[in-house]
Structure 1
Amino acid sequence: MAKTWPSDMSPDATPHTSTVTLLDGFATGDPDDVLRLGDLLKDFGPAAFGMLLFLGVLPAFIPVPGVGGAIGGPMVILVGAQLLLGMRKLWLPQFLARRGPHRSAMMRFRQRMAPWLRRLEKLVRPRMAAFLDNRIALSFTGLLLILLGLLLALPIPFTNYVFGILLLLFALALLERDGALLLVAWVAGGIAIVVFGFLSGNLVESLTQLFARWF
C-alpha cells in the first residue's frame, strides 16, 4: 500500500470553496490590481497545487501565439515536479511569489470560462479520494503534468486551447478532490502526450535537447 498524506494534509485542513466561487472572488475589484501568487496561495494548504495549476493554465487561453505556452508551461512543470517528488507543501520561488495575473485578466477569463465551469461543477464532486492521497498516484499525476507542461511550452500550432482544457481537468480534479475526474484527465492527458508529443516527435526532440544540456 502506498503512503498517504499525513492527517494534517487532509482535505479538511482547508475549507472547500468551489472553483467558480474562487474565480468570482479573483475577478472582483480594481482591474489594475496585480494578484500576487504568494498571497493567493498562502491559505490553500495541499489544494495550492491545484490552485497554482489553475492559475498557470490561464495564459494558455490568451489568443496570442507563443505567449500562453511561454508563461503557462513553466508553471505547469513546477507543479508537476513537486507532485512527482512527493512534496507535501507547494513551494514558490520568491520572484514568482511576488508576481501574478492582473485582475483584468481574471475578469476576461471568468467571462469566457465561467459558464462552462459551472456546467462541469455539476458533475465534479469529492470522490475516489485514494487517487488524491496516494503517493504513487500523485507522482504519476506529476509526471503527466511535466510532459504536458513541456508540450504547452513548445510552439506547436493550434494546441494551446487543447492543452489548456486538459490541464483544467487536472486542476479541477485537484481542487475539487475528484479522483474520477483525475482518472479522466490521466487518460486524456496520456493520449495527448502520445499524439502531440511522441508521434509528432516534438516531445522527444525537446527532451533530447534538455538532457543534452544537463549531461
Structure 2
Amino acid sequence: MATERGPTSLSALLERVRQAGSREASVSLGAILEAVGRRSFAPFLLLAGLVTLAPLVGDVPGVPTLMASLVLLASSQLLAGRRSIWLPHWLLRRRVSRPRFHRVLAWLERPAAWTDRLLHQRLTVLTRPPAHFAVAVICLVIALAMPPMEFIPFSANGAGLALTLFGLALLADDGLFALAGYLLTGGTLAIVVVSVMG
C-alpha cells in the first residue's frame, strides 16, 4: 500500500481532489478518497493534515477528531499489512458543501506551489520501506492525541502540520520533511503533556 506511486507533488494531489464528486452539490470524503486512491498512505495523511490546518474547516469543533479517526484507521491498516485502506461508511459519507470545498482548495493553491519547490528526493532512508512503518506508528500516536487537543489552543494545528509534513515526505520521498515531522510531533506532544499535567 505505501509503495504505490500516485501524485508526487502537493499541487498534483490537489488537482485530483478538485475532481472529486464534480457533479454533486456537496463533496463526500468517500469521493475525495476515491479521487486520490486508497492504496497509498500519503494522501490520507495529507488530507487529514490539510483539513485540520485549513480555515473554514479545521476550526469547526469535531473536525480534528474526525481527521484523527481517518489517520487512526489508515495507520492501523498500514501496520497490519493491508493492501488498500478500508473506511466505514459513516466516515465516507461525511460531506462538505462544494463552495466551501473550492474556497479551501483555492486557499491551498499558493502554499502548495511554494511547498512543491521545496520538495526533493533526499534522506530516502526515512521514507522508504520499512521506514514508513515508523511514520505510521507516530501518526497513530498523533491520532490518539488529537481529540484532547481540541481543548488546548493551537495544539491541533501542530498535529495537523505534523501529519502534513509526513504526508509530503511520503508523497515526494523527502526524508527531510519526515525528520521535520518527527521533531514537530515531539514538540507538540510535549506541549499537550505539560498542559494536561499542569
Which range, TM-score by smaller chain? 0.7 to 0.9
Q: 2:145 matched to 1:151?
A: yes
Superposed CA deviations along residues 5-38 of structure 1, whole A, max 9, x for unmatched, are 8xxx644xx4535221331343354572324426
CA distance in structure 2 between the partners assigned to 1:15 and 1:31 by the alignment: 25
Pick aligned residue for 1:32 from 15, 25, 33: 25
Structure-to-structure mapping, 1:1-215, within 5 angstroms: 10-11=3-4, 14-27=5-18, 29=22, 32-37=25-30, 40-41=33-34, 44=37, 46-47=39-40, 49-60=41-52, 61=54, 62=57, 64=59, 66-99=61-94, 101-135=96-130, 137-154=131-148, 155-196=151-192, 198-201=193-196
The answer (yes or no) to whether the contact 1:26–1:106 under 8 Å persists in 2 is no
Which consecutive unaligned segments of at least 5 residues does structure 2 have?
none
1:210 matched to which residue of 2?
none
Q: Secondary structure at the match of 1:34?
A: strand
Q: Percent identity?
A: 24
Runs ≥4 in structure 1, deviation > 4 angstroms? Answer: 28-31, 98-102
The answer (yes or no) to whether the contact 1:82–1:142 under 8 Å persists in 2 is no
Across the aligned residues of Structure 1 and Structure 2, the Cα RMSD in angstroms comes to 3.0
Q: Secondary structure at the match of 2:127?
A: helix
User: What is the TM-score with the length of structure 2 in the denominator?
Assistant: 0.76
Report the count of equivalent residues: 190
User: What is the TM-score with the length of structure 1 in the denominator?
Assistant: 0.71
Question: For the pair shown, which has the larger CA radius of gyration, 1 or 2?
Answer: 1
**One-letter amino acid of the structure 2 residue matched with residue 34 of structure 1:** V
1:209 matched to which residue of 2?
none
CA distance in structure 2 between the partners assigned to 1:169 and 1:163 by the alignment: 10
Change (3 A) 1:81 1:105: farther
Change (3 A) 1:128 1:69: same
CA distance in structure 2 between the partners assigned to 1:52 and 1:38 by the alignment: 13
The answer (yes or no) to whether the contact 2:42–2:171 under 8 Å persists in 1 is yes
**One-letter amino acid of the structure 1 residue matched with residue 15 of structure 2:** D
